């Protein structure tokens, strides 16, 4: 077995262990909150399960509780027959319910809410870890400086029109400070603010107001976003500006022959600033056969290279060149990091239900998409840090979504308990059973529906990453997934 294969297997094994530790750990922490609160309040606990469906392994503790790991990794549950009847997904209880005292309203509320509370506390603890060790961010994500303005964009029907950014007069090196008066601190924040926007003109056109800095002045620019890309989310046709660094130059490649070296930092091509790989690629494509003067910084000193004119059938000038970007370590305050994620989650939910929002259920991720997000984070240059960040994101989303007042979720149980208390008597068991059954079917249908789009995204990404379809001068990979 070759050393490369052993290293690959070790890397994959490490990634799997990270996913189990933080993805499985997030589910465990949620159910542990329910479990500990139930035991504290004297509620009968029959089973503690990670996953649903048939058991993979199980054992019964001295406390009489059955602990198990089950086949369907869609979450987990603590079987509390006194609290709610969810036998459709948790299995039948073996205790005689009539022999157990009914739990009080404060007990129900405490037991149901502690799952989300434990997720939030776990997220805060992980955010403290990020605060201490730092979170790596690539330069292209750390900026809001425009590095390229697409002249045209392709619509879902295949036609091309002028990009919203070009139509609004945005320029390379414009720095975007705010979107619809919402300050933006990095490219992820900028992109999310555009995607989650709900502004619409009286004539039906989508609209957003950008506050930008240009040549020392601050001005507002009105753009009309379009639904673009495979995800059909709001976009305007811009990409970030960043320093383009040569990471590798293949031996015998055209670039190696005309003098490009690893570590060169590209500054200008002829009289045009190299503000992004896209801008460089487009400039070369627009002048396919002429020679160029390339200015770069090499070990801090400027050098000028001449890119010779290319024959019509010659490979592109930068064939065999891999680019990189600068990293920086961020140390976000735990409260600030958690507040940003919570704010984005609520804005996402608002855009999802808003009549003018363009976020759809097809843009959401199921457990499958979450698993892929963890896998990519675990295969990044900083796997532990990125996985911890992703776990913060996951736990805060779990906390918020579980408290929504929807039957089957913890928030739904709390809603039923509150209605029963307000009316002075319990809701009819038949009503609760019907509501639970309907929403169980809806929930699993939703998971299946969203998973279909997760699979499409995975297939699309695999095709994009194939060597025969990869562009020779491509932008560095994106930062870890955001909600």
Q: What is the pLDDT of residue 469?
A: 33
Residue 219: left (phi > 0), alpha (psi -120 to 50), or beta? beta
Q: What is the pLDDT of residue 279?
A: 86
Q: How far apart are CA 281 and CA 471, in angstroms?
A: 10
Which two tokens mark 251? Answer: 């031996």
Name residue, tokens 């730092």: 134
- Report the topology of domain 144-239: Pdz3 Domain (2.30.42)
Q: What is the pLDDT of residue 332?
A: 94
Secondary structure of residue 378 in the 3-state scheme: helix
Q: How far apart are CA 35 and CA 44, in angstroms?
A: 10
DSSP category for residue 103 = P
Can you say how many angstroms the Cα of residue 56 is from the centroid of all Cα atoms in its chain? 30
Q: What is the pLDDT of residue 483?
A: 35
pTM, 2 dp: 0.86
Q: What is the pLDDT of residue 7?
A: 61
pLDDT one digit per residue (tens) for the chain, 483 residues = 555 665 666 667 888 888 888 988 999 999 999 999 999 999 999 999 998 888 899 999 999 999 999 988 778 899 998 887 676 666 677 777 777 888 999 999 999 999 999 999 999 999 999 999 998 888 889 999 999 999 999 988 888 999 999 999 999 999 999 999 999 999 999 999 999 999 999 999 999 999 999 999 999 999 999 999 889 999 999 999 999 999 999 988 888 888 999 999 999 998 888 988 888 888 887 777 678 899 999 999 999 998 888 766 777 778 889 998 888 889 999 999 999 999 999 999 999 999 999 999 999 998 889 989 999 989 888 899 999 999 999 999 999 999 999 998 999 999 999 999 999 998 998 898 899 889 989 998 999 999 999 999 999 888 876 543 333 333 333 333 333
Q: What is the pLDDT of residue 52?
A: 85
Q: What is the pLDDT of residue 20?
A: 85
Q: What is the pLDDT of residue 476?
A: 32
Half-sphere exposure of 300 (CA within 13 A, CB side): 0
Q: In CATH, what class is 244-324?
A: mainly beta
Q: How far apart are CA 50 and CA 62, in angstroms?
A: 19
Where along the chain do its domains lie? 11-142+333-439+456-483, 144-239, 244-324
Q: What is the pLDDT of residue 26?
A: 95
Q: What is the pLDDT of residue 471?
A: 36
Which two tokens mark 308? Answer: 């010779």
144-239 and 244-324 share one fold: yes
Name residue, tokens 């279909």: 452
Q: Which letter, b or e, does each residue of 202-217 get, where b requires 16 or more Cβ atoms within 10 Å of its Cβ?
A: eeeebbbebbbeeeee
Q: How far apart are CA 105 and CA 404, in angstroms?
A: 18
């Amino acid at each position: 077995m070759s050393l490369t294969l052993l290293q690959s297997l070790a890397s994959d094994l490490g990634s799997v262990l990270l996913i189990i530790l933080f993805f499985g750990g997030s589910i465990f922490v949620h159910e542990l909150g329910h479990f500990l609160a139930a035991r504290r309040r004297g509620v009968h606990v029959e089973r503690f399960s990670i996953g649903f469906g048939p058991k993979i392994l199980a054992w019964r503790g001295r406390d009489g509780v059955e602990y198990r790991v089950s086949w369907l990794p869609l979450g987990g549950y603590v079987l509390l027959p006194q609290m709610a009847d969810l036998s459709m997904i948790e299995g039948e209880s073996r205790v005689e319910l009539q022999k157990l005292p009914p739990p009080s309203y404060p007990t129900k509320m405490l037991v149901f809410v502690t799952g989300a509370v434990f997720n939030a506390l776990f997220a805060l603890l992980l955010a403290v870890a990020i605060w201490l060790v730092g979170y790596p961010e690539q330069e292209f994500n750390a900026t809001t400086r425009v590095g390229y303005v697409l002249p045209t964009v392709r619509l879902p029907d295949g036609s091309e029109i002028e990009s919203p950014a070009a139509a609004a007069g945005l320029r390379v090196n414009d720095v975007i400070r705010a979107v619809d008066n919402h300050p933006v601190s990095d490219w992820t924040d900028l992109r999310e603010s555009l995607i989650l926007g709900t502004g619409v003109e009286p004539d039906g056109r989508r609209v957003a107001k950008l506050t930008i800095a240009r040549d020392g002045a601050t001005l507002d620019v009105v753009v009309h976003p379009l639904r673009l890309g495979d995800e059909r989310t709001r976009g305007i046709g811009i990409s970030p500006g960043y320093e383009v660094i040569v990471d590798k130059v293949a031996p015998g490649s055209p670039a190696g022959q005309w003098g490009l070296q690893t570590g060169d930092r590209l500054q200008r091509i002829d009289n045009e600033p190299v503000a992004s790989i896209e801008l460089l690629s487009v400039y070369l494509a627009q002048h396919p056969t002429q020679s160029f003067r390339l200015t770069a910084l090499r070990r801090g000193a400027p050098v000028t290279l001449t890119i010779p004119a290319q024959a019509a059938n010659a490979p592109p000038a930068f064939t065999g060149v891999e680019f990189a970007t600068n990293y920086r370590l961020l140390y976000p305050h735990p409260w600030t990091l958690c507040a940003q994620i919570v704010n984005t989650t609520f804005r996402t939910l608002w855009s999802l239900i808003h009549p003018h929002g363009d976020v759809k259920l097809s843009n959401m991720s199921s457990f499958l998409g979450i698993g892929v997000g963890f896998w990519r984070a675990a295969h990044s240059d900083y796997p532990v840090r990125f996985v911890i960040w992703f776990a913060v994101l996951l736990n805060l989303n779990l906390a918020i979504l579980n408290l929504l007042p929807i039957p089957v979720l913890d928030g739904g149980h709390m809603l039923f308990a509150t209605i029963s208390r307000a009316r002075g008597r319990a809701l009819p068991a038949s009503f609760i059973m019907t509501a639970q059954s309907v929403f169980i079917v809806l929930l699993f249908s939703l998971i299946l529906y969203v998973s279909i789009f997760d699979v499409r995204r995975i297939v699309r990404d695999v095709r994009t990453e194939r060597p025969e379809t990869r562009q020779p001068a491509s932008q560095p990979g994106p930062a870890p997934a955001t909600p």
